[in-house]
Amino acid sequence: MVGKVRTNNGRKEKTSFCIGDAQSVKNTDTAEEKGYDGGKRVSGIKRHLATDTQGLPHAIEVTTADVTDRDGAILMVEREKENLSDVKNVLTDGSYTGENFASRINDLIGATVEVVKRNELHTFVVLPKRWVVERSFSWLEKCRRLWKNCERKRVGPLFNVHFVIIKDDKRS
């Protein structure tokens, strides 16, 4: 689906540059699988997303919120290795620092990892190209089914994300 949209926009079917991030989402009381993200203080699930520069998702993984961003990204890349086979560079935020993470991504898909860190100043700064993945998360949040996790199993939110992407593609 994403490859079709990319070729319609005059690009190659597979991207060579990905932007990765994770988003913690609160659970309702019906969810059976959940974890606690101490950094965000959220009990629920975590969506891991890798987009291209247009904001189109090339890899999605849903884990419990207690899984670190690095570990979730590695799970996502392992599962979506075929979709990410042409990726040469991955751009992430400061939560993906570490030589072990970069070498693991390199082993899996042969890509280099570039970590963009915020300034040491405590002010808001738009990070170059990082806003694209944040915009993709905001697109997902517009769907009522995705602003909070209401599903019992983790596979439900993953299907809901794919459904929203397909639905939005049909409108354009």
Q: Is the pLDDT of residue 89 over 90?
A: yes
How many Å apart are CA 122 and CA 120, to the nearest integer? 6
Reported as a single tens digit per residue, the pLDDT across 97-111 is: 988 999 999 999 999
Look up the CATH number of the domain holding residue 7. 3.30.420.10
Residue 79 lies in a domain: yes
Residue 170 lies in a domain: no
N-to-C CA span, the chain: 13
Burial 20-32 (b: 16+ CB within 10 A, else e): bbbbbbbbeeebe
Four-residue CA torsion sign, 95, 39, 135, 61: positive
Residue 73 lies in a domain: yes
The total of structural domains in the chain comes to: 1
How crowded is residue 41: how many other Cβ atoms within 10 Å of its Cβ? 9
- Do 42 and 65 touch, CB atoms closer than 8 A? yes
Residue 37 lies in a domain: yes
Question: Which of the four pLDDT bands, split at 50, 70 and 90, describes residue 161?
Answer: low
Reported as a single tens digit per residue, the pLDDT across 71-83 is: 999 999 999 999 8
Residue 91 lies in a domain: yes
Domain span at residue 15 reads: 2-163
pTM above 0.85, yes or no: no
Residue 66 lies in a domain: yes
Residue 171 lies in a domain: no
Q: What is the 3-state secondary structure (H, E, C) of the chain?
A: CHHHHHHHCCCCCCCCEEEEEEEEEEECCCCCCCEEECCCCEEEEEEEEEECCCCCEEEEEEEECCCCHHHHHHHHHHHCCCCCCCCCEEEECHHHCCHHHHHHHHHHHCCEEEECCCCCCCCCCCCCCCHHHHHHHHHHHCCHHHCCECCCCCHHHHHHHHHHHHHHHHHC
- Cβ-in-10-Å burial (0-12, 13-18, 19+) of 145 comes to middle
Residue 172 lies in a domain: no
